[in-house]
Structure 1
Amino acid sequence: MPETTGTSGASIELENLTKRYPGTPRPAVDNVTMEIKAGELVVFVGPSGCGKSTTLKMINRLIEPTGGRIRINGEDVTDRDPVKLRRKVGYAIQSAGLFPHMTVAQNIALVPKMIGWGKGRINDRVEELLDLVGLDPGEFHGRYPRGLSGGQQQRVGVARALAADPPVLLMDEPFGAVDPITRDHLQDELIRLQHELHKTIVFVTHDFDEAIKLGDRIAVLRERSHIAQFDTPEAILTNPADDFVSGFVGAGAALKRLNLTRVRDVEITDCPTVTVDDPVQEIFTRLRGSGTNEILLLDERGRPYKWLRRGDMMRAKGALARAGTLVSDTVTRDATLRDALEAVLTDNAGRVAVTGRRGEYTGVVDMETLMNSVHELLEADRLEAREHQHALEEIRAAQTHAEQEGA
């Protein structure tokens, strides 16, 4: 695969950005001013109809602003040719928006072809991007969107948005139409991609948990895109600016902080494994000698396939097709502890397999590790609450003293 080298992110400045539609008494977006740093992933979150998607679409001028300025890397793009601007700003939407009559490769190659890249360079870029988003180029290059799952289509949509190596990527609820497990994995992929590419990403969602998981900073937007709070996920969870923001945080802020810690930040252990190509007798021998009651069966690509237990093997008379329990869920190192905890509870077996970018087995995380992390977060919250209370008491004591002195 060609080495991934390219353009990193660009700063974005919105200055008094406004959108008014004819015949409406109030603007849809009202005087939004915001600075997004180069290489930052910023999430817009807010209630339906608050203007978050309208604000996003004004950045690449899919919707023309009525007033205000947009600067990308210091350059005012408000009056630039909008078509040329969009070719330098990646855009990914819900349900991918792929052209059904084009192959995967043709969809990805669309913008590079428009801006005049050579055929060889385009082919290399398509192969590079398919690999980058976790799709085998040999398998997916010539396929059509109708033959892909929702998650695969969404990965191709992200690859297409990145095709011309833009510094800015706009994402409008891109994972909203897929099932929860696929959505978790797509979020993990985006986190991994951002670690590698360092683009400036502006991401719209109505899901506050998704915002916590993905954002370097979160802009909580009220009606007409008024900014209620623009801060890090940690700051918003621990110090919401007002009741409106508190409503988004909701109950269980400490547990929501599980979305701030990644699987890579905790201990990943190993477990005994065998592959579907191993002789059955060898699997029996490994299972007996493992010191545990179960062993993980990997498929021909090294991906978690089944959990095999001693009793399963005995009852199935050694037939692997009938033995064991299918692995129902896995997590990557970029998954959050909340993802891992949900997977462990769903599987009801006390552990979850951790996989690499192509789904290959890399280890396991167990319930004990996850519960220890939960207890540490809760204890940190209790300590912070005590310190906050102590600070308030000192302030009140100082005020009382000052009043007594004044009297």
Structure 2
Amino acid sequence: MAETSGASGASIELEHLTKRYPGAPEPAVDSVSMEIKAGETVIFVGPSGCGKSTTLKMINRLIEPTGGRIRINGEDVTDIDPVKLRRKVGYAIQSAGLFPHMTVAQNIALVPRMIGWGKGRIGDRVEELLDLVGLDPGEFHGRYPRQLSGGQQQRVGVARALAADPPVLLMDEPFGAVDPITRDHLQDELIRLQRELHKTIVFVTHDFDEAIKLGDRIAVLRERSHIAQFDTPEAILTNPADDFVSGFVGAGAALKRLNLTRVRDVEITDYPTVTVDDPLQEIFTKLRASGTNEVLLLDRRGRPYKWLRRGDMMRAKGSLARAGTLVSDTVTRDATLRDALEAVLTDSAGRVAVTGGRGEYTGVVDMETLMNSVHELLEADRLEAMEHQHQLEEIRADRTHAEQEGADGGGRKA
């Protein structure tokens, strides 16, 4: 993977940010104040029409505020040229928003070309970014958006948003239009990218599970972008501020915490593997030696391709073309335990292959490992609830004691 050594994140301060539309009785966004730290991923989550996208778009002034200030790294950007501001702030939207008449490379090169980068520097940057988002530069450089899947288009959209190496990346429901499996993989990719790049990311979603998975902090917004709670995912799950926030958390807070633990945090086991180029006799030998009664067949790029069992090979008369079961799903090390659990539950053998940044095999995680983690989370929740109950009882006892002392003191005075 290409090394990236560009600008890391910038702090963002919103001070009484307001948007009023002519003729509307109430402001769409009403005096929002918020501080976002450099390198932090902050998620805006709230019901449809609450003003979260409007608030996001005011940060790069795609929508002009009617009141308040915006500071990026301490600089007040409320009055500077909005076009210049937008070139310094990456922006990714739902359905990628790629220009259909431009190739992948031309789409990514758009902002660097506008700000005057040289041809050689642009070419290097396009290649670096395609590599970074897990697309082979040789394969995708000259393709047009219509030749890409929805997930590939979103990857190109993220690459384009990062092209001029902005410190701030704004993302407006960028994964909302793709299927659930692709969405999970794109979320994992964003987590991996952020661990490498340390940008400041402000991300809008209506999906609370996505917010938990991606956010360092979550801003739960009511109507007119009033902040109901702005805190870490753990704090919101365990101590929602009020009934409105509790409604977003919903039932099963302990299970939602599976979105806070990554596959890389649990034991990833190695598994017997063979490749499509291995001689059949060697594959039979590995199958016989396998304590699991199956091996994982990898393609020529080292990616999981098929699960092979002894019976499969016998029935298919030794031909790899007809043998085995295609790998239907994989997870990355940045996937959450919830993603892994869903993948394992849909697999009859109760395991899922774990892959690296380019889809290459790195190991397997199984049902037993995941269930142990679920039990640990539930036990931690139970202990936390007991501790909370104990603290409440102590507070009540102290209050009762104080009231008794007060009554005794009053009696003596009399």
TM-score, normalization: structure 1?
Answer: 0.99
1:359 and 2:356 are equivalent in the alignment: no
Distance in 2 between the 1:2 and 1:338 partners?
30
Distance in 2 between the 1:140 and 1:2 partners?
16
Describe the shift of the 1:343–1:2 C-alpha distance in structure 2 as closer, same or farther (beyond 3 A): closer
Quote the offset at 1:349 in angstroms.
1.4
Deviations 1:246-305 (A, max 9, x none): 000000000000000000000000010000111112111110112221110001110000
Distance in 2 between the 1:85 and 1:368 partners?
50
Deviations 1:70-121 (A, max 9, x none): 0000000000100000000000000000000000000000000000000000
Is this contact kept in 1: 2:2–2:131, CA < 8 A? no
Computing the radius of gyration from Cα coordinates, the structure with the larger value is: 2
Is this contact kept in 2: 1:2–1:124, CA < 8 A? no
Task: Report the more deviating stretch, 358-367 or 287-296.
Answer: 287-296
Q: Report runs of 4+ in structure 1 exceeding 6 Å deviation.
A: none
Quote the offset at 1:2 in angstroms.
4.9
Equivalent residue of 1:268, what SS? coil
Equivalent residue of 2:219, what SS? strand
Q: Which residue of 1 aligns with 2:187?
A: 187
Q: Which residue of 2 aligns with 1:147?
A: 147
Distance in 2 between the 1:65 and 1:153 partners?
31
Distance in 1 between the 2:241 and 2:2 partners?
46
Is this contact kept in 2: 1:295–1:308, CA < 8 A? yes
Is this contact kept in 2: 1:208–1:248, CA < 8 A? yes
Equivalent residue of 1:347, what SS? coil
Is this contact kept in 1: 2:170–2:202, CA < 8 A? yes
Q: Which residue of 1 aligns with 2:301?
A: 301
> Structure 1 stretches of 5 or more lacking a match?
none
Q: Pairwise mapping of residues 4-403 of structure 1 onto structure 2 (< 5 A)?
A: 4-403=4-403
Quote the offset at 1:196 in angstroms.
0.2
Deviations 1:164-217 (A, max 9, x none): 000000000000000000000000000000000000000000000000000000
Is this contact kept in 2: 1:188–1:335, CA < 8 A? yes
> Structure 2 stretches of 5 or more lacking a match?
408-414
- TM-align CA RMSD: 0.6
Distance in 2 between the 1:234 and 1:161 partners?
29
Quote the offset at 1:3 in angstroms.
2.6
Is this contact kept in 2: 1:169–1:200, CA < 8 A? yes
Equivalent residue of 1:305, what SS? strand
Quote the offset at 1:348 in angstroms.
2.3
Quote the offset at 1:347 in angstroms.
1.5
Distance in 1 between the 2:388 and 2:4 partners?
46
Is this contact kept in 2: 1:105–1:141, CA < 8 A? yes
Deviations 1:225-249 (A, max 9, x none): 0000000000000000000000000
Quote the offset at 1:350 in angstroms.
1.2
Count of residues paired in the alignment: 407
Equivalent residue of 2:122, what SS? helix
TM-score, normalization: structure 2?
Answer: 0.98
Deviations 1:335-367 (A, max 9, x none): 000000000011121111000001000000011
How much identity, in percent, do the aligned residues show?
93
Is this contact kept in 1: 2:2–2:132, CA < 8 A? no
Describe the shift of the 1:237–1:169 C-alpha distance in structure 2 as closer, same or farther (beyond 3 A): same
